[in-house]
């Protein structure tokens, strides 16, 4: 693998760790704290902590998306179903961050005008969807294969792999699973 390709892959993983780490932080840690915090603690966290954490969250998403696009361009010949499905999940998650979560979080945190409770609910739902999408997206990323000594890309292979991926995707995006998290 050439140095530039390696640096883009490494950057993609590093940005992805930042993005998904912040996603899990919001959904599994900060949300619980916000429910239990005193009025003073909640106001302080919304004024100081949340905006900073959201900055890292959305720019981690941007870095992941941009390096992912660069890798897709580099991998055009070696594309497989796993890469395509993973890229679709990643793109949906990226769009959720920039078009739904961030605009609604600005309202929920009082940084923009609007109905804060409704905006918070929209942001939470999109964020929960991203948590659900992160598992099949990561599965696809790991199953897609990696360059092996200049001999092309070796993908995780199994019979009927597309059927398995679709079942996993449907499980993670079903309303029943979504109801469990919300």
pLDDT at residue 32 greater than cutoff 60: yes
> Given this model, what pLDDT does residue 173 score?
61
Give percent of the chain with pLDDT exceeding 90: 64
Q: Which of 17, 18, 24, 135 is nearest to 86 (CA)?
A: 135
> Given this model, what pLDDT does residue 182 score?
46
> Given this model, what pLDDT does residue 162 score?
60
> Given this model, what pLDDT does residue 68 score?
95
Please report, for the chain, how many H helices and E strands are present, in that order. 9, 2
Q: Which of 133, 146, 57, 56 is nearest to 91 (CA)?
A: 133
Q: What is the pLDDT of residues 69-89, one digit of tens each?
A: 999 988 776 788 888 889 999
Sign of torsion, CA 84 86 91 96? positive
Q: What is the pLDDT of residues 129-169, one digit of tens each?
A: 999 999 989 988 888 775 544 444 455 554 456 666 666 66
Instruction: Report which DSSP code applies to 155.
Output: -
pLDDT band at 124 (very low <50, low <70, confident <90, very high): very high
Angle value at C-alpha 136, between 130 and 129, nearest 5 degrees: 20
Neighbouring C-alpha atoms within 13 Å toward the C-beta of 12: 18
pLDDT band at 3 (very low <50, low <70, confident <90, very high): confident
Average pLDDT over residues 31-53: 95
> Given this model, what pLDDT does residue 148 score?
47
Average pLDDT over residues 98-107: 97
Gap between the Cα atoms of 87 and 79, Å rounded: 11
Q: Which of 92, 75, 93 is nearest to 146 (CA)?
A: 75
pLDDT at residue 171 greater than cutoff 80: no
């Amino acid at each position: 693998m050439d140095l530039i390709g390696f640096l883009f892959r490494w950057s993609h993983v590093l940005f992805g760790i930042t993005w998904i780490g912040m996603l899990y932080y919001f959904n599994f840690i900060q949300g619980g704290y916000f429910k239990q915090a005193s009025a003073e603690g909640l106001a302080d966290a919304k004024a100081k902590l949340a905006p900073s954490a959201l900055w890292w969250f959305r720019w981690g998403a941007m870095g992941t998306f941009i390096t992912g696009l660069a890798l897709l361009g580099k991998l055009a010949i070696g594309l497989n179903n796993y890469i395509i499905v993973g890229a679709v999940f990643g793109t949906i998650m990226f769009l959720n961050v920039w078009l739904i979560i961030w605009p609604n979080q600005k309202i929920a945190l009082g940084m923009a005008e609007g109905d804060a409770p409704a905006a918070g609910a929209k942001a939470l739902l999109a964020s929960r969807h991203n948590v659900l999408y992160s598992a099949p997206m990561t599965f696809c990323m790991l199953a897609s294969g990696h360059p092996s000594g200049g001999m092309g890309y070796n993908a995780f292979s199994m019979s009927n792999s597309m059927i398995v991926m679709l079942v996993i995707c449907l499980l993670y995006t079903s309303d029943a699973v979504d109801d469990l998290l919300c």
